[in-house]
Structure 1
């Protein structure tokens, strides 16, 4: 190669290296002074940029002082080559810590074996560079201060290549945790130097590896700036929303105040809350619907209307659930349902329900319990904050909690429906169910009255614990044959009602009950009665009760032991 061409190449090489060094120095200065990037990741990319800047600078010095026979050339060539090899390993170590901070949790960082191996390899590489200064393991210099590779030079390539391959496996495995741009930028630090190494193994002259590292640092800097700018944009956008959120917070506080000061009259407090919501949206009507999935209907439980708007609560007590099926799907998918124009639903069931109420648009959000839709909170014909469900979504938890609190009050008012000794339904549940059954005609109903024999004798002779055990065994026998259908209505009295059930099936069940009682060591009198049609339920139950007493009399006359 001609001397002039060689000189031109070295000048170009040095200029590129110095420009790269300057860029990395400026980048490191940026990461050092910025106040919006204070993270562990920032610390490691800052160290990488500093290390790369120094690496590129001393690589340029290698070109400038190569072949100078004077004392300055002697020291500069040796110092610059040492730093070139040493800083390549050090920058790789910093890169490893950078991707670990970016990709891994502290627990993963401490547990992964690959992490430990890469750090060990980098430390070994740094140590070998130091050793090579005294042994000529990687390179030597001739009398003219010209660098020559030694037989151990491939080791200086193999150690970082293995470490980079392991880092590459981490990057690929956890790539979903970073953006596509950052994945490509960090990946360039692995790919570009590897390409340069493959070329430089057989040909050297240009500092291809160091230049590749510099290019990768530029890419990582640019992507980091881009992501930081995007984060700043999101921050500015959120600031623009603060004023609106402050207004929502003020209204939300009023809503919570209404509910928290409601005391025992939660219905009144909830209606006042709906009034606040109506004022916020300038809506004609605000309301709460609850879902009854057993009957597949929705029920309007609370409502507040603007002056001059008709109340519709009483007209919306049994709306088919299918009418709002689209709403439920939207609640589960998006957390909100917005209907800007009812005319879009013309010809559908929901149109027939809403049109008579003079509803043109509406906005609703779900009421959730354990992530399941239990109802919804909505407004009709909103004129302000149209389509913005932020307030409704914010208040839905408090509304749901208030409704649950109301139900708890009702449950406490009705007392407890479960018999604590047996787990069967108690007399309160029995009487409430009777009041519901008496409202209609019952078809194919079977009833059982059952009374234990010898409970008093058992208590007197063996103690009340033995008597309680006898009662529990009776309940176990009932649950075997009539699971969930038995009632304990007194100390030793039990009732079963099943509707509908065929006559033969009922007789078979009674027979199974008698066998179950025998298996559980229980002696009882049973009165069973079945009718195809019952219009007078009390008379039906009296007949079952009378049959039980007649059986008890027969058992007494037979003088058999009762326990």
Structure 2
């Protein structure tokens, strides 16, 4: 419980419990809308582990478990062969499942999932059930703390006005790019935002910013970031540099259709990116040249 990383603390609980009571597995299934999904596990080194992509289990296939949870938060199934004869609608999903202890994980009216201790020794079943019932509350606290930390982390990486990632989100995203794959970095600046704020008010300026983010977000298979103020960045995987001119032209057309004036610049990088600031500077320089052309053209028209 004192572990600074909730998921690490949860994993320690599963490991300690599984070893203490000699289980084959100790599993935590997280509840979603219509299914339960294996989120954390401990498995004895003496058994074949479950597949890494263990499929979500539809709740209708374990409906009888939830009927029992309505009356008791923790219960024991001592013989699954007998259980399935009585409840054939509850399909088995775990191999060599002979017995189990199941405990609902909830806290303050919020259900988080269920713990399942698989094949504990028969002579320890009662003691193991009592301990699992107690641990379910601690697991609920850890899952709640994990969710709070995730929300705080996401809030720190997301621009509140537009809902897209900010510069911090970009720096984290760059760390997870696929090695030896090329990416286009498109730097974008909204022309005339200050003029819009001064003449039409900040609500109009905010609408312009959100409209820009919406158009960028609509680009398929791309990640979008607000770098601050009127500057945005789009990161898109490409096969060849030849794709970049078409990408820029498509963006320009979308902004023209939306009556939003922008300046665009782009560069191509290959992951991993050793110096993201240098790549951003190059894209920014290209964008500045595009902005200079925009204002020169407008001056000539005037």
Aligned to 1:426: 166
TM-score by length of 1: 0.37
Structure with more helix by fraction: 1
C-alpha deviation, 1:404, in angstroms: 2.9
CA contact (8 A) 2:105 2:139 kept: no
> Equivalences for 1:173-212 in 2 at 5 Å?
none
Q: 1:475 to 1:266 in 2, by over 3 A?
A: closer
Structure with more strand by fraction: 2
Distance 2:154 2:145 in 1: 14
Aligned to 1:475: 213
Aligned to 2:69: none
Q: 1:492 to 1:362 in 2, by over 3 A?
A: farther
Distance 2:183 2:259 in 1: 28
Aligned to 1:517: 255
C-alpha deviation, 1:396, in angstroms: 4.1
Matched, 1:552 2:291: yes
- Unaligned stretches of 5+ residues in structure 1: 1-258, 304-310, 341-349, 355-359
Q: 1:459 aligns with which of 188, 197, 201?
A: 197
Distance 1:536 1:271 in 2: 33
Aligned to 1:209: none
CA contact (8 A) 2:180 2:272 kept: yes
Aligned to 1:489: 227
Secondary structure in structure 2 of the residue aligned to 1:421: coil
- Greater RCO, CA 8 A, separation 6+: 2
Q: 1:536 aligns with which of 267, 273, 278?
A: 273
C-alpha deviation, 1:508, in angstroms: 3.4
Aligned to 1:408: 148
CA contact (8 A) 2:222 2:236 kept: no
C-alpha deviation, 1:518, in angstroms: 1.4
Q: 1:479 to 1:288 in 2, by over 3 A?
A: same
C-alpha deviation, 1:505, in angstroms: 5.5
CA contact (8 A) 1:366 1:373 kept: no
Aligned to 2:52: 321
CA RMSD, aligned part only?
A: 5.1
Distance 1:517 1:297 in 2: 44
C-alpha deviation, 1:421, in angstroms: 1.6
> Equivalences for 1:227-376 in 2 at 5 Å?
270=10, 283-284=21-22, 287=26, 299-300=40-41, 320-322=51-53, 332-333=61-62, 335=65, 363=100, 365=102, 376=115
Distance 1:507 1:290 in 2: 47
Distance 2:60 2:214 in 1: 43
CA contact (8 A) 1:328 1:373 kept: no
CA contact (8 A) 2:183 2:238 kept: yes
CA contact (8 A) 1:447 1:496 kept: yes
Secondary structure in structure 2 of the residue aligned to 1:320: coil
Count of residue pairs the alignment pairs up = 264
CA contact (8 A) 2:212 2:260 kept: yes
Secondary structure in structure 2 of the residue aligned to 1:536: coil
**1:159-201: per-residue Cα shift (whole Å, max 9, x none)?**
xxxxxxxxxxxxxxxxxxxxxxxxxxxxxxxxxxxxxxxxxxx
CA contact (8 A) 1:430 1:487 kept: yes
TM-score by length of 2: 0.62
Distance 1:434 1:386 in 2: 50
C-alpha deviation, 1:470, in angstroms: 1.9
CA contact (8 A) 2:244 2:266 kept: no
Distance 1:363 1:442 in 2: 46
Aligned to 1:251: none
**1:405-464: per-residue Cα shift (whole Å, max 9, x none)?**
223124325643332222222223222112222xx5142422211012222233233332
- Unaligned stretches of 5+ residues in structure 2: 66-74, 80-93
C-alpha deviation, 1:376, in angstroms: 4.5
